Amino acid sequence: MSGSHEEASEKQESTKYTVVARRYRPKTFEDLVGQDTAAQALLRAIETHRVGHAYLFTGARGVGKTSTARIFAKALNASPEGNGRFDPASEIALAIDSGEDMDVIEIDGASNRGIDEIRSLRQNALVRPSRAPYKIYIIDEVHMLTTQAFNALLKTLEEPPGHVKFIFCTTDPEKIPITVLSRCQRFDFPPVHTDQILSRLQFICQNEGTEADADALKLIARRASGSMRDSQSLLEQLLSFGGKQISVADVHAMLGTADESRLATFAQCMVERNAAGAIEALEGAVLEGVDAGQLAEQFLGYLRDIMALKVGASPDLIRTANASNSDQLRGFGQSWGLTTLLTAIQIVDETIVKMKHSVQGRILLEVALVQICNLVDLQALSDVVNGIARNLSPNSPSPRPVVSSSSVPSVPTPGPSEDSKKKELTQPDNDALQQLPVEEPAASQIVAQVQPLAASPAAASAIPSAVSSPSSAASPSTVNNPSAVGSPSAGNPAAVSANRTDASRTDANKIEARVVEADKVEASKVDANKVEASKLAVSQVPESPAVDSGGVTEGLSPKEQLAQAALSLGGLMRQLGALALEVHERVPGAWQVKLAKEAAMAIQQLRKPETLQRLKGALATQTGSDIHLDFVLTDVPMPIAAGSSTQAFTAAMDPNRPSVSQAQRIREAMAKPLIKRFMEVFEAEVLRVDAPAPAPAIPANIPEPASVDRLESSDD
C-alpha cells in the first residue's frame, strides 16, 4: 500500500515539473538579458506618460519578445503608482505570468488568424477592463494573420479606445502590411550576445546544483546562435543526460558534433593536400557518432574563424574555435592563403545545401573534402595575376625590361677598321637595343600578338632550320671582308665554331628583318584599303542640289553641314546624314530637311526639343549662327547606293570610329584556346576587348632592315 502511494507521489511530482526555459523566464525589466535598450525605452515611456496604443516587437526566436510584452503589461497594470515599478509577487503580476488575467489577453496569431477572430476581438475591445487600468492584447506571431484580418483590424488599431493597448510579436516583420507597421512603435530585438548567454547558463547551473565545465557551456552558448531559449533547452537536455556533472564530451555526444581537435585535423589535411587523411578522419568521426551534416556546419564555422584571423580580425570574433588556439588558426591561414581559403568555404557551403536534399550526405562531404585537398595553389596564381596587373597598370611606374644576352643576338665587335665601320651601317648595336624603352603590350593583346606566330608553320620551321644550319650563310665578316675567306683562321676549329655561331646569329637577324618588312607591307595594304573604302563611301553619297549657303561655312552645302553636325553628336544621330535627302534654306537661318521614308521611326525623336537643341548647338558651332530646323518625312525611299553605303559613309565622315564592333572582338577573343582555358579555370567572362596599341616608332639611330636585305642579296 505504501509502495503504490510513493509511486503516485512521484508521478504527481513529474507532472508538476516545469522546464528550465519557463522557470527562469525574466519577470522584470531588470531580469531581461541582452535587451537593455528596449527595456529602458518602455520603462521611460511609462514614467513620462508617453505610452503608445500599439507596439511591434520583432526579432529572432528566443530573444525575449513575448517575455518583454508580459513585463510591459505588468508594468502598465500592476504598478500601484503608475510609474512602471511593480511587485513581481503581486496578484496581477502572477496572473499575467500564468496567463489567467482577464485584462491581459494573449492570442496566438497562427491559430487565430481569420477575420472572425478579429471581429470578436474588436467587439471585446469595447468592454472596459475589470480591475486594471488597461485591457492589453498580446498577439504572438502576428504575421500569420490573413490579409482580411489585418484589414479588419486597421480601424481599431488606428483609433482604439483609450483603455486598449496592442502588443504584436513577430519573427517575420516583412510579411506584415505596411499599413499596420505605420500604426505601431517598432522595437527590433537583437540576438543575445554569447557572453550574456554564458553568464545566464552559469547562473542556472549554480541554482540547479550542477557543475559544468566552462568550455561545455561555451559550446552551448555558441550553438544557440543568439537565442536564449535555445541555450536553455540545450542545457535542459544536458541536465537530463549528464546529471550533476557536464563536460565537453557530454555536449559533443548529445549534439552529435566533433571536438575542435578533429576540426584541426581536417584543416591540417586540407593544408597538406592529404585527401586520404581527410577521408580517414571523417570515417573516425562518423564511427564515434558524429553526424556528417553537423560536422560540415562545424567545419564551415572553423574555416570562417581561420578567414577572420587571416584578414587581421581580433580573436574576440572567433565563434566556432577556441580563442586560445588563435595561433594555430593563423598558421593554417598563412599556409593556405586567403584565395584558396575563400574557395574552400564556398565549396563547403554549397555541399551543406546539397546534403539537405540528399540521402547520401556523407559521400557529398567526402567529395567536398577531396575537392578541397586537390585545389591548386590559388593564392600563388592570384599573386602572379596581381603582379602582372600592377606592371601593366598605366598609373604604376613601368619597370625597365631586362634584356638578356640570350634574347638579343650578340654581334662580334672587331677592331677598328673600315670593315667595322661598314658593319655599323648594316648591323644594329646590341647596347643601343638594350637602352631602348620597350613598350609592354596590354593583357588583352598578348594572345593576339602570339597567335600569328603559332599559326604560321613556315615561320615556325624557319627559325630552327636557320639556327641549326650555320653553313647555309656566310658570316658577317666574310661578307664585308672577302679576303677573310683565305685567312689562316679558316682552318682553326675555334675560329670555325665562332664563324658558325656568327652565321646563326646573322640568320636570326635576317628572319627578324623579314618579319618586320612583312609587317610594314601588310600595314601599308590595310591603310590603302581604308583609303579606298573612304573614297568609295564619299563617292556613293548622293549629291545635293546647289543651295545658297547663306551663313554656312564657305565650300560646304547645308546638307554637308548637317551631316557633319550629326556625326559629331554620335549615337543614332550618325545616320541623319544618309537619311536626309534634301536640305533647303527657305529663309535665312531656317532649314527644311526632307527625310527618306526609312526615317519614320526616328522622326519623332528628331522633333523632340532636346534633340533639336543638341543639333542646333552643333550647327551653331560649325556655322557661327543659330539655325532653325524643320524635319519633313517624305515617301521617297533612301537611294540604294546611299542606303547600302550608310556604314561606309559614316566611316568616311568619322575615321575614329572602330571598324570592328566590340561584340565581334569579344566573340573572336572567346574563340581563342588560351582565353577559353582561362575562363574555365577562373570562371571568368570577357567584358571588353581593347584595340591593339599602335606599334612604337623606330628611332632614327637604328638602321632600316633594308641593309640586312642587302647583305642577304650579296650573300646569295
Q: Using one digit for the tens of pLDDT, what is the confidence trace for 391-415?
A: 655 554 444 443 333 333 443 444 4
Specify which of 130-144, 501-515, 630-644 reaches the highest per-range mean pLDDT.
Answer: 130-144
Among 110, 107, 113, which Cα is nearest to 149's?
Answer: 113
pLDDT at 385 over 70: no
pLDDT of residue 645: 40
For the chain, percent of residues with pLDDT exceeding 90: 33
Rounded mean pLDDT, 651-675: 67
Q: Is 656 or 47 the better-scoring residue by pLDDT?
A: 47
Instruction: Give, in order, the Cα–Cα distances in Å from 319 to each of 61, 194, 221, 251, 293.
Output: 20, 9, 10, 16, 18
Q: Is 409 or 328 the better-scoring residue by pLDDT?
A: 328
pLDDT at 693 over 70: no
pLDDT at 209 over 70: yes
Rounded mean pLDDT, 507-530: 49
pLDDT of residue 296: 93
For 385, the grid coordinates are 595575376
Rounded mean pLDDT, 76-89: 90
SS (H, E, C) 492-534: CHHHHHHHHHHHHHHHHHHHHHHHHHHHHHHHHHHHHHHHHHH
Among 681, 24, 619, 109, which Cα is nearest to 384's?
Answer: 681
pLDDT of residue 404: 37
pLDDT of residue 665: 79
pLDDT at 364 over 70: yes
pLDDT of residue 654: 45
Rounded mean pLDDT, 623-628: 80
Distance CA 22, CA 304 (A): 34
pLDDT at 468 over 60: no
Q: Is 513 or 35 the better-scoring residue by pLDDT?
A: 35
For 622, the grid coordinates are 560649325
CA 593 to chain CA centroid, Å, is 50
Across the chain, mean pLDDT equals 73
Distance CA 519, CA 687 (A): 29
pLDDT at 142 over 50: yes
Distance CA 64, CA 227 (A): 9
Rounded mean pLDDT, 311-329: 88
For 285, the grid coordinates are 568521426
What 3-state class would DSSP assign to 56? Answer: strand
Q: Which residues contact 371 (CB under 8 A, 6 or more apart)?
A: 347
Quickly state the pLDDT bin for 597 (edges 50, 70, 90). Answer: confident
Q: Is 214 or 697 the better-scoring residue by pLDDT?
A: 214
Quickly state the pLDDT bin for 378 (edges 50, 70, 90). Answer: low
Among 568, 590, 566, 569, which Cα is nearest to 579's?
Answer: 566
Residue with cell 515611456: 45
pLDDT of residue 565: 81
pLDDT of residue 472: 38
Distance CA 490, CA 498 (A): 11
Specify which of 14-28, 63-77, 281-295, 505-519 reaches the highest per-range mean pLDDT.
Answer: 63-77
What single letter denotes the amino acid at residue 156? T
Distance CA 78, CA 75 (A): 6
Specify which of 260-264, 434-438, 440-444, 600-604 reaches the highest per-range mean pLDDT.
Answer: 260-264
Rounded mean pLDDT, 290-295: 90
Quick: pLDDT tens for 153-176. 998 998 999 999 999 999 999 999
Q: For residue 469, count other CB atoms closer than 10 A to its CB.
A: 13
Q: Is 319 or 707 the better-scoring residue by pLDDT?
A: 319
Rounded mean pLDDT, 473-486: 38
Q: Is 657 or 153 the better-scoring residue by pLDDT?
A: 153
pLDDT at 438 over 90: no
Rounded mean pLDDT, 519-535: 47
